[in-house]
Structure formats: C-alpha cells, structure tokens
A = this chain, B = another copy of it.
C-alpha cells in the first residue's frame, strides 16, 4: 500500500499518476473504476470533464462526456455536498431524483455495474469530483479498514492531480495588486461608487481598473469576473 501511496504522491505527470492509481485498485480486484472531475466554472479548463475509467465500455465513456451525461449523473451532485463515501444504491434514499437522473442510473445498471462505492474527493478552487468503484462478487464486503485506505488513496490521487494541473497550467492570469483589491470588493457586492469611497480613488478609476480586469479574465461583467477570480484562486475568500 505504501508503495502506491508514494507512487501517487510523487507522480511527475498525469499518466504516471493514473498508472499508480489504477495499479493500486487492480491489486484489490476492482474491475470497474472511474474517476470523475468536473472543473468549476471560472477555471481555465472549465468544460473539460475528466473521466478516467477501467472496465467501462468506451462508447459509454464517450457518451458521458460528449452527450453531457454527467449533467444527469446524480453521483457527482451528491458528492459535491457530502464528503463521506456512499453506495450508488443509497442515492435514491438520500435525495429526490429527477427523471433524467433515474434514467441515467438505469442505463448504468444495464452496463452490469449495478452497485458500487462513490468516494468524494476535494481539491483547491472547488476542484471536486469522485472516485467510483463497482462492487462485484469479489469485493462485496469491503471492510472499514480497506474503505479508509481507498478513501485516503482516492483523495491523495486527486490532490496530486490538482497539483500537477496547476504546474501544467499554462494560461496564467495575473492581476495587479490594485486590480485584486478592486475585484475583492466587487465580489463583496460593492458598487463602483462604494469601491471608490473605500479605496479613496475616483469612481472613474475604479471603472478603468474593472475594464482591465474584465479584459484579463476574458469576461464582460462583474458577476462572472468575481466568480472567475474566486475560481482561479486570484482572490481569497
């Protein structure tokens, strides 16, 4: 176990990370594995859903991304709010499902992946996701001890993934100190006039700063600018 832990933690690129990650689960006879990460709005890679799988039909995998099936998947929706691992089969009891969600679950069931474990994982800047493990006859009864280990491995892999992402991140947006200051107040809901009073500068200057912020962030309104700023970690909570 320590071997895989170390390999995940020290992986120098994403394929290497994925190898270590799947290697671990293969040892535990997990034959269906998926890792899903939906980048937050405002992130530079928003829209690129990450899904790495073992044992899932390739057609389904493609459909999941291209047909935006992940929008109907209730698992990430639940995982976003609740850190504790849960069974797919429990999801109906935990939350009201919409009809697209129900039909999505039926489709998954027809793939022969009826039940499994979802392990929510969390990262910086709202980079959340989950690791899905199908439970088959080999591993129906997962001990608590093993579950803890799965959880630790999953979380560690996700964190390493986020770390690798941020080093690979080419598109680096930088705001000047003054611009950040303005954006912070924008995110607090202040009007240009209010910000000008707070910072002791003219409202026109606030306007100018804001225009440059829009320009740098590639947006054209204060709301998305603020969300993007938070999503990219440019401004602090």
Q: Spell out A's residues near B (CB within 8 Å).
A: 2, 5-6, 9, 38-41, 77, 80-84, 120, 122-126, 128, 144-145, 148, 151-152, 155-156, 159-160, 162-163, 166, 186-189, 191, 219-224, 226-227, 230, 233, 236-237
Q: Top 7 closest A-B pairs, CB basis? A: A83-B159, A189-B224, A152-B152, A122-B122, A40-B237, A189-B221, A223-B223
Say yes or no: B124 contacts A120, CB within 8 Å. yes
Known: A41-B187, A81-B125, A159-B83. A148 touches B222 (CB 8 A): no
Given A5-B145, A189-B223, A191-B221, 19 further pairs, Cβ under 8 A: A2-B148, A6-B144, A6-B145, A9-B144, A81-B166, A82-B163, A82-B166, A83-B159, A83-B160, A84-B163, A120-B124, A122-B159, A125-B126, A126-B230, A148-B156, A152-B155, A155-B155, A187-B227, A226-B227
Q: List residues of chain B with CB within 8 A of the CB of A227.
A: 187, 226-227, 230
Nearest CB of chain B from residue A129's CB, rounded to whole Å: 11
Q: List residues of chain B with CB within 8 A of the CB of A145.
A: 2, 5-6
Say yes or no: B2 contacts A220, CB within 8 Å. no
Assembled-state Cα–Cα distance A209/B217 (Å): 29
Which residue of B has the minimal Cβ distance to A149?
B152
